[in-house]
Amino acid sequence: MNECLKTGGKPSICFVAPQNFAALMDDPKFGNIGGAEIQQSIIGGELAKRGYRVSFVILDHGQDNKMEIDGMRIIKAYDQNAGIRVLRFLHPRLTNLWRAMRRANSDIYYQRTSGSLTGIVSAFCRWHQRKFIFAVASDRNCMTDHPYRQLRHERVLYRYGLRRADLIIAQTVTQQRLLRENFGIDSTVIPNCAPDHERCPGETNAVASARERRLLWIGEFTPIKRLELFLDIAEQLHDLQFDVVGDGNSESEYVQHLRSRAKSMPNVHLHGAVSHAGVHQFYQRSKALISTSRAEGFPNVFLEAWGYGLPIVSTCDPDNVIAQHDLGMVAEDIPGLIAGIRVLFDSQQNWQKASQSALQYRDNHSIESVIPRLENAFLSLAERTEL
């Protein structure tokens, strides 16, 4: 335990987030800027503002060894391309990751999303008598048959880490239930934090009538996100424009097919990977956000869209908040999604009602609401002494 904590100070927090550099720098050239990465960047930045010593363990992108971002220390772990294939899991990845966590010398280590990293961070914390927090990033993290945990060592390490975490944070009550049913593990529900953005008072009302007849889709081109459904809708609604923000693995046949198909459609506009700051222009000019995912956690794009008073038409509804709070429309298939779009587009009254509900609901995820709950959890955990 650090001296600061022994004397009653705030605990130091280390986010073990190898893929987080793109979000911290807000530059997609360093990788995907996903919801998990954005959430950790927001939480880390807010804790640093409140006087916590915050560090991030990330991949080596050639950045300076003494780099800081918004008061957060950036510690390099390893170059993802270094080492001999198969053997590099142990060295340089595991060895350098372990060294980076030691350099952080934190009271609490926070790791988000499932995989072998969960077990590694947990083992480090047990060895060095530090506290470990695992944060759920998706409903899939709560399943025993996660498609991205195909290798045996990934499944073993994930279960090991999950069962030995000092605190597990779920995004929703649904995730809390799934963790209990599938792993027999308890968790604490703390909602995702909505990022702040500049918006003039009354902007939503002023822009509502001027918003274009555009639908927005944001995400990574993966089978779980199902961009193909968005393109199916575009083929049937020729009177609307469809914006796609995001990209995928260029070597994937699936991604290549999606790109080719989208480019052949006159009412579909591919914008590629965009910085987090750059995404907001698309929210401002769109009429609704469309989500076609097979499964989600609590999408960051939902929170951002609601911040602009943007209704959502979605195939997934975390904890049924869209349906319960009139934040848009929920459907299971293409006909249902199209019907939901028409309900919003054919009636300004319907759109305005959903827009106002979105703005009001988003307050549940404000920084002022969420960060104190995280602080309380961190402080309680740091003060806890195991018998």
Q: What local confidence, expressed as pLDDT, does residue 7 receive?
A: 40
Tokens for 252, please give them.
Answer: 């994937």
Q: Which CATH class is domain 203-365?
A: alpha beta
pTM value is 0.89
Query: At 211, is the secondary structure helix, strand, or coil?
Result: coil
Q: Quote the pLDDT of residue 203.
A: 47
What confidence tens digit (pLDDT) does each residue in 127-158 have? 999 999 999 998 888 888 765 555 777 888 99
How long a stretch of residues is the chain? 387
Q: How far apart, in whole angstroms, are the C-alpha atoms of residue 177 and residue 185?
A: 9
Torsion of CA 308, 313, 316, 317, to 10 degrees: 60
Is the alpha carbon torsion for 134, 138, 139, 145 positive or negative? negative
> In this structure, are residues 118 and 111 in contact, taking their beta carbons and an 8 Å threshold?
yes
* pLDDT tens per residue across span 356-377: 999 999 889 999 999 999 999 9
What fold characterizes domain 3-193+366-383? Rossmann fold (3.40.50)
Query: What totals of helices (H) and strands (E) does the chain contain, helices first?
Result: 16, 14
pLDDT at residue 202, rounded to an integer: 42
User: In terms of Cα–Cα distance, which of 176, 150, 71, 162 is closest to 112?
Assistant: 162
**pLDDT at res. 387:** 36
Which regions in the chain score pLDDT beneath 70? 1-8, 83, 86-88, 146-150, 196-211, 385-387
Please check whether the two domains, 3-193+366-383 and 203-365, share a CATH topology.
yes
> What does the alpha-carbon distance between residue 65 and residue 245 come to, in Å, rounded to a whole number?
33
Tell me what pLDDT residue 201 has.
39
Domain residue spans of the chain? 3-193+366-383, 203-365
- Residue 312 makes CB contacts below 8 A (sequence gap 6+) with 288, 289, 290, 291, 302, 305, 306, 322, 327, 328, 329, 358
